[in-house]
Amino acid sequence: MDFDRSDSFNKQTLQEVAKKIPQLDVSSVETLLTFIKTSYKVHSLIEENLGFYGLSPGRIRVLLVMYVENDKYFTPSELADKVGITRATVTGLLDGLVRDGIVERRNHPNDRRMVMIRLTHDGVKLLNRVLPPHYLLIAQLMSGLNETERKSLVHLLEKIEQNLPDHAQTPVQEP
């Protein structure tokens, strides 16, 4: 669901659209384009890296929740809430993760509606192998910004968020 992928929509093209649509503010759109394009690139890169280990953004988000509390069992609902996706999507992700032996499903002892999910031993090993290069990549991505610049970036992003209409609820993260 990303908007900008190529450079086909350069400034020149933008000017042409602006001729037809008076509401178009070129400066706003250019800034947004850069923003979305960068986020697409960053996202793709991380996704590509996880792909080497058979993981995906969706999978890693769910796995990380379990990784930080290793011994605990989680219900699909709990995972859905923590990750910010629907229960239906979690079911689909778990199907794959169980198939690949990364996670195990168990019946809940008291409530027969529920299922309990936990990382398998192999799942933990996988994460121990995947996470170091994952975070190394993130550190590398940010290495061009010093602490001041990072704060400044976060500050600008927060300013954008303040202009989001309230009804647009937000859910998550994957560190």
Partner DNA sequence: GACTTATTATTAGGTGGCTAACAGTTTTCT
Partner DNA sequence: AGAAAACTGTTAGCCACCTAATAATAAGTC
Name the minimum Å distance from CB 16 to DNA: 23
Name the minimum Å distance from CB 92 to a second copy: 15
Q: CB under 8 Å to 56, separation ≥6 — which residues?
A: 47, 50
Q: CB under 8 Å to 71, separation ≥6 — which residues?
A: 118
Among residues 9, 36, 46, 89, which is the contact residue for DNA, using CB under 7 A?
89
Residue with tokens 């993130």: 138
CB atoms within 10 A of CB 19: 9
Asked whether the beta carbons of 80 and 87 are under 8 A apart, the reply is: yes
Name the minimum Å distance from CB 71 to DNA: 18
Among the listed ranges 28-36, 90-98, 119-127, 145-153, the one in contact with DNA (CB under 7 A) is 90-98
Q: Which is nearer to DNA, 57 or 101 (CB)?
A: 57
Per CB under 7 A, which of residues 105..134 are in contact with DNA?
105, 110-115
Q: Please give the helix or strand (H or E) that residue 115 lies within, else none.
A: strand 115-119
The site string for DNA over 135-174 (x = CB under 7 A, - otherwise) reads ----------------------------------------
CA–CA dist 76, 162 (Å, integer):
32
Q: Which is nearer to DNA, 65 or 93 (CB)?
A: 93
CA–CA dist 76, 89 (Å, integer):
10
Name the minimum Å distance from CB 116 to a second copy: 19
